[in-house]
Chains A and B, each alone.
Chain A
Amino acid sequence: MEVTAPRLDCSVIKNRLKKRYIWWNGWVFAAVLLLLVVCTPVFTLLTHLVSSPGTHWDQVGPKILDSYLKDTLILLVGVAFFTFLLGTSSAWLVSSYEFPGRKYLEWLLILPMAFPSYMMAYSYIGILEYTGPVHSFLRNSLGWEITGPLIDLMNLPGGIFIFSITLFPYVYLFARTSFVSSSREIQDAAALLGASPVRTFFSVALPMARPALAGGIALASMEVLNDYGTVKYFGLNTFTTGIFRAWLTLGDLDSAIKLAAILTTLVLALLWMEYYQRGNKRWSSKSGRTVPPHRICPSKPVQWVFTGVCLLIVLLGFLFPFSQLVYWAIKTAHKVIDASFGMIVVKSFSLAAGSSVLIVFMAIVLLYAVRVSGMHGMRYVTRIASLGYAIPGAVIAVGIMAPVIGFDKWLLRVAPLDGKLLLSSGLFMLLFAYLVRFMAVGYNAIDTGFQKAGKDINDASRMLGFNTWHTLWKVDLPLIRKSIAAALLSVFVDVIKELPLTLILRPFNFHTLATKAFDMATNEQIAESANASLIVILTGILPVVLLNRIIRKSH
């Protein structure tokens, strides 16, 4: 059968495009509405910021420079350095050299990501503390006289260790992608021209990976700023503990919000610096060819050294703490696992599935609006939606509670619903908070998908007369389906791991695995918390492995 395409001359095309890409349409309207909703907590905080000085600001204020800023910055710099070191070196080894066990180590190195850092902290303290296996063994079996802890982790360097070992996979993933794809050809060229592997690394691969590395480190830093569980357990004075302290212990919401505002400014400054230093240094492989990776085979002893280095990282970042959790889980399973524990598992999973679908859907709406609006600035405007990732969970919780409960009260005055708060008593607040907090995760994944897919096919579809809905369903979504899957999985795992927001905003009788684990751990039942932790971590592993396969397949 012969298909005749409609003949279009130039002026018709221009007219059609003009009609299609008007700056204001349903999509843009939806996107703007969504942006306003997502920004509500920030607006709430801003109004508090100008309203009144907090009653306890005299106490809170001086502590900012004294400890909050100091501890936070030391933590950030330390974590940035060590995630960079661990992530880049391991990524370079697995992507450039052949050594025994490389294939397994390649994905084992991602697994620490599945550990929420507070669970990593509990498990390390469990291993190293006086009553733990190492200390007991040395004392009882070897008869060593040890006073004090073997290695004291409950301090700033310990915090840096815990965060670095959990968060370095962010850098590792970004770096590996850069090493094996975008800069591959130039690396090969450098090698052909006689550069040694070391020189190739420092003068080609590393500079070209800079934007990717900065992205990975930025993500790791935000995780550090959001953390509450680890810093609280270790007794560190970061901005987040300061916020909790001012808000809850001193009961001074305004001081807490001021601290939150300073923290947010700090984050924005960091992001801007990263963006600015990067400038337009973006590289990509223009040829689009995928080069089959050919790895250098060093001498046997060197190969084993490489295996050893990677294995050590995997042992520290995953196998040791994981084994400790498994041991605890088996020991306490008979006490912990029952029907109500099963319900917690089901609830956690449904909540995570529901919210990841919601968030990814919203991200698609936002980015599709960018695509069909044809407005240059739209992309920057929608970026605002991903700012939530930089705001600690506790702050988002404050920002959401006030307006939602306010809305509920207004609703009650207008239409009495037998005296019940409609939105604030259910899961709405929690889903809303997740949307604010994890929009960035979905947004970035979908954005990457759209960028890669390019706009040509979309244009073609629109020109051939399909409307935006039809084009989205038939053209764009199938094109970015891998990104959608990646986005769903990443959000899913993040929600399963999320702690501070869930703690504050969950409704009655609602426990997730994370809150249950935290509850038991704060109640000094760390061993009993292991079953819940283990499920969180195993859930985290599954998408990590899938993600890894996606990355490998795409090369």
Chain B
Amino acid sequence: MFKSRSLFHIAIVSGLLMACGGGNDEQVVNVYTHRHYEADNELYRKFTDETGIRVNVINANADELIQRLQSEGPNSPADVLITVDGGRLNRAMDKGLLQAVESEVLNANVPAEFREPGGHWYGMTYRARIIVHATDRVKPGEIKNYEDLADPKWKGKVLVRSSEHVYNQSLTASMLLADGEEKTAAWAKGLVANFARDPKGNDRDQVKAIAAGEGDIAIVNSYYIGLMLHSENVEEKKAAESITLVFPNQDNRGTHVNISAAGVTKYAPNRENAVKFLEFLSGATAQEVFAGTNFEYPVNPTVPLSETLVSWGTFKKDNANVSEIGRLNDQAVIIMEDAGWK
């Protein structure tokens, strides 16, 4: 059993360990990010090697990070906020948590469609919210638009994750922008009526459910398909190979995309480092890592797509204004709740 002395030692040692890692005057950039991919950690290391600036990171859900920034106010240690969805950064901007940044490098690397006009945030990557269906059970061309998913003929066939997820909220908000409130509400109701099961699990689970025959059609993010196709689990690979990808709405507004974007916080204590960090992320080296290891689309047009992405072909993006989509988020949540989309 523990003796009081050994307890005392544990207390001292742990105290010392906690005290470590604080204090000198080295250059840092403090990042609040919703992205938690191993590829990102590799990028942070590269950035430190190139510039000598250390990257400090907190990963959490974007909403939590925004909440935290808000309560910390002018004394927040954060320099950069990164989210996986442009709408969330817009929410942060509306709350006055971001500052405008002017940078020639950023303007050259990030096309205008992927950045906030005032320079409050810059897109880093984007992912398409695509429809996938069982290759053998749905004929090619039967589904072309998001709107088609509400067609009663797909009753009991449609799979999608919970409405709590920001990807679905943004998709619904983009529908609101394109089709208006009434149509979107009807669409959401029709979609819910077609559900094969109550929404649960993550995007990969929806693909697996198609393979298992629980449903035929699912809404997922493109990069998960890339990750599944390169999975070490043979069964997961097979599941991803048994489906067909549809980039929706090619004949009209284009496929909805989530922009993973970064902005400099209003009270960033290391503003210059933060700008350097964004410039690095939008540069060729970093963008290749995004495209190569995580199967996201790089915003920087000079960077070649990875082989998998090339094999999917090019597609038309929905170029709807991200700020407006962000502002419609609350309304989208209400519509989804009213429709009974769990």
Q: Which residues of A are interface residues toward B (Cβ below 8 A)?
A: 59, 63, 125, 129-132, 135-136, 146-149, 152, 154-155, 232-235, 237, 241, 245, 247-251, 331, 335, 340, 346-347, 349-351, 353-354, 357, 401-402, 405, 408-409, 412, 419-421, 424-427, 477, 481-482, 484-485, 488, 503-504, 506-510, 519-520, 522-524, 527
Cα(A342)–Cα(B326), bound, Å: 40
Bound Cα distance from A181 to B334, whole angstroms? 56
A384: min CB distance to chain B, Å: 26
Q: Is B342 positioned at the interface, with any CB of A under 8 Å from its CB? A: yes
Q: Is B59 an interface residue (CB 8 A)?
A: yes
Instruction: Please list the 8 inter-chain residue pairs (A to B) with the smallest Cβ-Cβ separation, ordered nearest first.
Output: A248-B63, A147-B213, A131-B235, A235-B200, A350-B14, A130-B212, A354-B14, A508-B56
**Given the interface contacts A131-B236, A248-B64, A412-B75, does A357 sit within 8 Å of B10 by beta carbon?**
yes
- Contacts A130-B209, A419-B269, A524-B204 given: A350-B17 contact, CB under 8 Å? yes
Residues of A within 8 A of B232 (CB): 331, 527
Q: CB distance A148 to B212 under 8 Å?
A: yes
Cross-interface CB contact of B200 among A154, A509, A527, cutoff 8 Å:
A154
Contact A506 B58, CB 8 Å, known A247-B67, A524-B202:
yes
Q: Does residue B36 face the partner (Cβ distance < 8 Å to A)?
A: yes
- List of B residues within 8 angstroms of A250 by Cβ: 330, 333
Report the separation of the CA atoms of residues A131 and B206 in the bound assembly, to the nearest whole angstrom.
12
Question: Given the known A-B contacts A420-B77, A524-B204, are A351 and B59 also in contact in the complex, defined by CB atoms under 8 Å?
Answer: no
Asked if B10 contacts A409 (CB within 8 A), the reply is: no
With beta carbons under 8 angstroms apart, the residue of B15, B63, B200, B201 that contacts A354 is B15
Report the bound CA distance from A509 to B78 in whole Å: 12
- CB of A475, distance to nearest CB on chain B (Å): 14
Question: With A420-B75, A508-B56 known to touch, is A481 a contact of B224 (CB < 8 Å)?
Answer: no
Whether B212 and A249, one on each chain, are in contact in the complex, defined by CB atoms closer than 8 angstroms, is no
> Is A130 within 8 A of B208, CB to CB?
yes
**Could you list 5 examples of A-B contacts with CB < 8 Å?**
A250-B333, A357-B11, A405-B71, A420-B77, A524-B227
**Which one, B1-9, B176-184, B253-261, B296-304, is touching chain A?**
B1-9
Which chain B residue shows the least CB distance to A358?
B11
Task: Say yes or no: is B198 at the interface (Cβ < 8 Å to chain A).
Answer: yes
Contact partner of A131 among B68, B164, B233, CB < 8 A? B233
B18 within 8 A of A: yes
Is B7 touching A357 in the complex (CB atoms < 8 A)? Answer: yes
Report if A353-B11 is in contact (Cβ < 8 Å); known contacts: A130-B239, A508-B77: yes
CA distance in complex: A529, B269 (Å): 34
A351 touches B14 (CB 8 A): yes
**Cβ of A351 and Cβ of B36 under 8 Å apart?**
no
The answer to whether the Cβ of B186 comes within 8 Å of any Cβ in the partner chain is: no
Residue interface mask B299-342, A partner, CB < 8 A = 1: 00000000000000000000000000000001001100100001
Distance between A68 CB and nearest chain B CB, rounded to angstroms: 12
Contact of B1 among A424, A426, A481 (CB under 8 A): A481
**Contact across chains for B1 and A353 when beta carbons are under 8 A apart:** no
| Set of chain A residues within 8 Å of B169, measured between Cβ atoms | 249
Contacts of B13 in A (CB 8 A): 350, 353
Whether the pair A504, B236 counts as a contact (CB closer than 8 A) is no
Query: A357-B11, A481-B4 known; 5 other A-B pairs, CB under 8 Å?
Result: A250-B333, A405-B72, A508-B30, A510-B58, A527-B232
The smallest C-beta distance from B58 to any residue of chain A, in angstroms, reads: 6
How far is it, in angstroms, between the C-alpha of A132 and the C-alpha of B235 when the chains are bound?
8
B117 interface hit (Cβ, 8 Å) = no
- Residue numbers in B under 8 Å from A426 (CB-CB): 22
Contact with A along B61-98 (1 / 0, CB 8 A): 10110111001110111000000000000010000000
Which secondary structure dominates where chain A touches chain B?
helix
Point out the residues of chain B lying under 8 angstroms from A488, CB to CB: 2, 7
**Minimum CB distance partner of B202 in chain A:** A524
Q: Which residues of A contact B30 (CB under 8 A)?
A: 508
For residue B227, which residue of chain A has the nearest CB? Answer: A524
Rounded to whole Å, the gap between the CB of B93 and the closest CB of chain A is: 14
Task: Give the distance in Å from the alpha carbon of A507 to the alpha carbon of B19 in the complex.
Answer: 13
Check B77–A527 contact: CB distance below 8 A. no
CA distance A125 to B201 in the complex (A): 10
- Which residues of chain A are near B337, meaning CB under 8 Å? 59, 63
A519 touches B36 (CB 8 A): yes
Take A154-B201, A409-B75 as given contacts and tell me if A508 and B58 are in contact as well, using a CB distance cutoff of 8 Å.
yes
CA distance A523 to B37 in the complex (A): 7
Say yes or no: B64 contacts A235, CB within 8 Å. no
User: In angstroms, how far is the closest chain B Cβ from the Cβ of A508?
Assistant: 4
Q: Assess whether B147 is interfacial by the CB under 8 Å rule.
A: no
- Taking the closest CB of chain A, its distance from the CB of B341, in whole angstroms, is 11
Q: Whole-angstrom distance from the CB of B197 to the nearest CB of chain A?
A: 8
Cβ-neighbour of B61 out of A154, A248, A527 (below 8 A) = A248
Evaluate contact between A135 and B212: CB separation under 8 angstroms.
yes
Query: Among residues 34 to 52 in chain B, which have CB atoms less than 8 Å away from a CB atom of chain A?
Result: 36-38, 41
Chain B residues, Cβ within 8 Å of A510? 58
Provide the residues of chain B in CB contact with A349, threshold 8 Å. 14
Contact yes or no, A130 B235, CB < 8 A: yes
A248, B63: Cα distance in complex, Å: 5
Q: Does B148 contact A (CB under 8 A)?
A: no
Residues of the B chain whose Cβ atoms lie less than 8 Å from the Cβ of A154:
198, 200-201
Contact present for B63 and A147 (CB under 8 Å): no
Q: Which residues of B contact A147 (CB under 8 A)?
A: 212-214
- Chain A residues within 8 Å of B239, by CB: 130-131
Given contacts A249-B333, A357-B10, contact A509 B235 (CB under 8 A): no
Q: Counting CB contacts under 8 A, is B199 at the interface?
A: yes
Q: Cβ of A421 and Cβ of B72 under 8 Å apart?
A: yes
For A59, what are the chain B residues with a Cβ–Cβ distance below 8 Å? 334, 337
- Complex Cα–Cα for A129 and B162 (A): 18
Which residues of A lie under 8 Å from residue B203 when comparing CB positions? 524
Interface positions of B from 190 to 249, Cβ below 8 Å from A? 197-205, 208-209, 211-214, 224, 227, 232-233, 235-236, 238-239
* Contact for A524 among B7, B198, B224, CB less than 8 A: B224
Q: Are A235 and B162 in contact (CB under 8 A)?
A: yes
**Bound Cα distance from A519 to B77, whole angstroms:** 22
What CA separation (Å) do A131 and B1 show in the bound complex?
A: 45
B residues within 8 A CB of A63?
337
Shortest CB-to-CB span from A433 to chain B, Å, is: 14
Query: Taking the complex as formed, is B60 at the interface, i.e. its CB lies under 8 A from any CB of chain A?
Result: yes
Q: Which residues of B contact A146 (CB under 8 A)?
A: 212-213
Q: Which of chain B's residues has its CB closest to A506's CB?
A: B58
B201 with A235: CB separation less than 8 A:
yes
Q: How far is the CB of B15 from chain A (nearest CB, A)?
A: 6
Residues from chain A with Cβ under 8 Å of B66 in the complex: 251
Task: Kindly provide the distance from the CB of A64 to the nearest chain B CB, expressed in whole angstroms.
Answer: 13
* B118, CB-defined interface residue at 8 Å: no
Contact: B67 with A350, CB < 8 Å?
A: no
Could you give, for residues 22-40 of chain B, a 1 whenever the CB lies within 8 Å of some chain A CB and a 0 otherwise?
1000000010000011100
B108: CB under 8 A from chain A?
no
- List of B residues within 8 angstroms of A420 by Cβ: 75, 77
Residues on the A chain within 8 Å of B201, using CB: 125, 154, 233, 235
B63: A residues at CB distance < 8 A:
247-249, 251
Check B105 for interface membership: any CB of A closer than 8 A: no
Which partner residue on chain B sits nearest A402 by CB separation? B71
Q: Once the chains are docked, how many angstroms separate the CA of A425 from the CA of B11? A: 21
Contacts of B21 in A (CB 8 A): 509
Q: List residues of chain B with CB within 8 A of the CB of A425.
A: 77
Which residue in chain B gives the minimum CB-CB distance to A139? B235
Q: How far is the CA of A424 from the CA of B68 in the complex (A)?
A: 10
CA distance A249 to B17 in the complex (A): 36
Partner of B67 from the list A132, A148, A248, A503 (CB cut-off 8 Å) is A248
